Amino acid sequence: MTRTGTQRHPVSGGYAGPVSGSGYGNTWRKARTSALTKAEAASPLARRPYDLRHACVSLWLNAGVPATQVAEWAGHSVAVLLRVYAKCIAGQEDSAQQRVDVALNSSTNSPQTPVDDRTVPDTAG
């Protein structure tokens, strides 16, 4: 990561190099302290910037976004995504079963009968 000025252009001079890990971490800690309550700041909530990425991927999965789409957005293979985040999507069995039930019921309660155009009376005058 490099520093940018107010116009989003790289800063020149002694501050133009990459941001150090400690500088990044110190800034993150100050931002957390400023943005969170004391109890939240004492918790593991967003302890590292990477935690926000993890929270986002977990949210997408728990919102029902297909794993293939989440993997693409996160830059993972589906196998890696499921290995890392499987524990985050546990407990969704009931909602998954409901979706299957709805799909099965909608297909058995309203069969799709093809319309034969030859049997429809011509109503054009």
- Going residue by residue through the chain (125 aa), what tens digit of pLDDT does each one get? 555 666 666 666 666 677 787 888 899 999 999 999 999 999 988 899 888 899 999 999 988 899 999 999 999 999 999 999 988 876 778 888 998 999 999 866 555 544 444 444 555 55
Q: Token pair of 73, please?
A: 């957005």
Q: Token pair of 93, please?
A: 């069995």
CA distances from 115 to 2, 112, 118, 119, 120 (A): 64, 9, 9, 8, 8
